[in-house]
Amino acid sequence: MSDRESVLARIRAALADRPEVAVPAVPEVWPETNPDRPTMLGRFAEELEAVQGELHRCGTMGAARAKLAELVAELKCARLGVVDRPLARELTDGLSAAEVAWIDDGWDKAAIGELEVSLVSSDLLLADTGSCLVECRTAEERMMCYLPPACIVVARAEALREHMPAAWREVAPRAADRELRGEFVLITGPSRTADIEKILILGVHGPKRLIVLVVE
């Protein structure tokens, strides 16, 4: 056993004996006004487009599959890297096995970085910031949000929430679940970087293009 493995083993043993921690209360930051879904989707679209993100509203899963095929062709993507989730499986049902690469622990960052496009599923959408919450259970899944130059996010319209406090009851228990071994990544538009001369550049520290498919 290496020194690193020995240290990690001791950390895991210590965490295993740690008592359960109570889930934090819902933060009282913004009141919940409970807007309807069309209102939240409209706000989500405005906020996403304000940060150069792209939204495609798909009335059915069939329409979402057609849009995905169109995007794959537009992006000249020979092989789509996909994080394995039920919604992603459903969306990619029309693609051949040769067109889809299912990401697992066997993928390293160099291989993920060579993918032209990634596809991840969003568990929750925050209307007030146009943000997608993506549950990442492994380091490989986290890298799928950052390394490929284009990232496609798929979500259902029922995943829309007004803001983070409105989503907190769902986020906190899952973030505290030790079996998930991961974290949530908040994606708000493509990567944006500005230097001292205030010149905005997309894609330096993450995807240059972010495309969100919402299945209504």
Sheet bearing 183-187, strands edge to edge: 160-161, 124-126, 131-136, 183-187
- 204 part of a folded domain: yes
- 10 part of a folded domain: no
- 32 part of a folded domain: no
Q: Coil, strand, or helix at residue 195?
A: coil
pLDDT one digit per residue (tens) for the chain, 216 residues: 677 778 777 777 776 666 666 666 766 777 888 999 999 999 999 999 999 999 999 999 999 999 999 999 999 998 999 999 999 999 999 898 889 999 988 899 999 999 999 999 999 999 999 999 999 988 899 999 999 999 999 999 999 999 999 998 898 888 877 777 668 899 998 877 776 667 767 656 668 899 999 999
Cα–chain center distance at 184: 8
- 49 part of a folded domain: yes
Instruction: Please tell me the total count of domains within the chain.
Output: 1
- 172 part of a folded domain: yes
Cα–chain center distance at 131: 9
Residue ranges making up the domain that contains 49: 42-215
Query: Which CATH number does the domain housing residue 121 bear?
Result: 3.40.50.10420
- Asked if 30 contacts 19 with a C-beta cutoff of 8 angstroms, the reply is no
Sequence length of the chain is 216
- 35 part of a folded domain: no
Note the pTM of the prediction, 2 decimals.
0.83
